[in-house]
Structure 1
């Protein structure tokens, strides 16, 4: 692991965005979101996104977490191929390991 990175593990429930596209997300717990916000202040991109390396089960992918609208929490989008590979279902709790580069 890069010395300028940190890892955070958490569990969260899968939910679906009610708009077009059927995007699935996980909302990071408040304590995790607060820690990321403090530690990743310098690495934030447009719209407050934070680039991460995410791992669920054996699947690892590069993505970004985004601030949730009207909330201090971040959300992690779950691509269809990740959900399919890991057999992730709506409303199920999922364990996630995030690596954040700072």
Structure 2
């Protein structure tokens, strides 16, 4: 399943900062339809994502009825992305 959306980089503070892009509600509904086939536990959904010219593998994290896409430093830093940066995301749910 392929999904595209635009979002803003957010920071989740903890012992170390983590960066995410929230998946919009409409796309979350589509992802939930295949979640049981894709999830390998804890409700995380394996995906291949592309932001800019960078493609990476990760897993969507369930959060407040939706999903968050983690944005690795290896993706974020070379593209100069920081908290508040607007990004376009293309992702494929790995079934």
TM-score band w.r.t. shorter chain: over 0.9
- Which residue matches 2:80? 87
Could you tell me which runs of 5 or more consecutive residues in structure 2 were left unpaired when the two chains were aligned: none
The TM-score normalised by the length of structure 2 is 0.93
**41, 48, 51: which one pairs with 1:46?**
41
| CA–CA separation in structure 1 for the residues paired with 2:73 and 2:27 | 24
- Which residue matches 1:3? none
The TM-score normalised by the length of structure 1 is 0.87
Could you tell me which runs of 5 or more consecutive residues in structure 1 were left unpaired when the two chains were aligned: 1-5
**17, 20, 35: which one pairs with 1:22?**
17
| CA–CA separation in structure 1 for the residues paired with 2:40 and 2:11 | 24
Which aligned runs of 4 or more in structure 1 are off by greater than 4 angstroms? none
Count of residues in correspondence between the two structures: 95
